[in-house]
Amino acid sequence: MFRGINTISLDAKGRIAIPTRYRDELQDSCERQLIVTIAVNERSIGEPGCLWLYPLPEWEQVEQTISKLSNLNKMSIRLKRFLIGNATECEMDNQGRLMLPDKLREFAKIKQDKQVLLVGQLTKFEIWNEAAWQAKEQEWLDGSDNEGLEELGSLSF
């Protein structure tokens, strides 16, 4: 399970280093084989998006689910094109680093930024441009993005 927010650096070659606390789990669960793709629900026009980083077995479950969607439904086709079409295999090296493709770094506006946030989301990570994360976090705290809030009405902790 991946939790927490980690501030990490993007090196000159476009690589990030996965924090040490996750490396053993990634070695055990996927032998350092990961998939990075765009997050289809976290981008507004003109704003940076974020990336999703999945251990390969988790990603394969996502692909199984998506493969069952209709090829005649426009939203299903769009989802497949963006999520599957942008999915890139990346292997974590022995130092825990992995290369983020140029196109995906550009999508998330992390190409020029040196600080990146790796946000644990239980079975995957989100990779955010630090400024974009801070703006989204403020938006969530301000309550200006309450879409889907009614679905959580019965949730309690």
Alpha carbon distance 67, 58 (integer Å) = 14
Name the pTM for this structure: 0.88
Which position has the token pair 């490396």?
A: 23
Q: What is the pLDDT of residue 155?
A: 57
Task: Give domain status of residue 135, yes or no.
Answer: yes
| Residue (of 22, 62, 17) closest to 38 by Cα position | 62
The per-residue pLDDT for range 104-131, each reduced to its tens digit, is 999 999 976 678 999 999 999 999 999 8
Task: Give domain status of residue 132, yes or no.
Answer: yes
- Tally of domains within the chain: 1
Q: What is the pLDDT of residue 114?
A: 77
Task: Give domain status of residue 100, yes or no.
Answer: yes
Task: Give domain status of residue 155, yes or no.
Answer: no
H or E stretch covering 34: strand 33-38
Q: Which residues pair with 141 in a beta bridge?
A: none
Task: Give domain status of residue 157, yes or no.
Answer: no
| Residue (of 36, 37, 29, 26) closest to 93 by Cα position | 26
Structure tokens that stand for 142 in this block: 């301000």
Alpha carbon distance 63, 35 (integer Å) = 11
Which range marks the domain in which residue 86 is found? 5-144
CATH number for the domain that contains residue 93: 3.40.1550.20
Task: Give domain status of residue 152, yes or no.
Answer: no
Q: What is the pLDDT of residue 153?
A: 61
The per-residue pLDDT for range 68-79, each reduced to its tens digit, is 999 999 999 999
Spans in the chain with pLDDT lower than 50: none
Contact 99, 11 (CB under 8 A): no
3-state SS class at 62: helix
Q: What is the pLDDT of residue 47?
A: 72
Task: Give domain status of residue 41, yes or no.
Answer: yes
Task: Give domain status of residue 154, yes or no.
Answer: no
Radius of gyration in angstroms for the set of CA atoms belonging to the chain, rounded to a whole number: 16
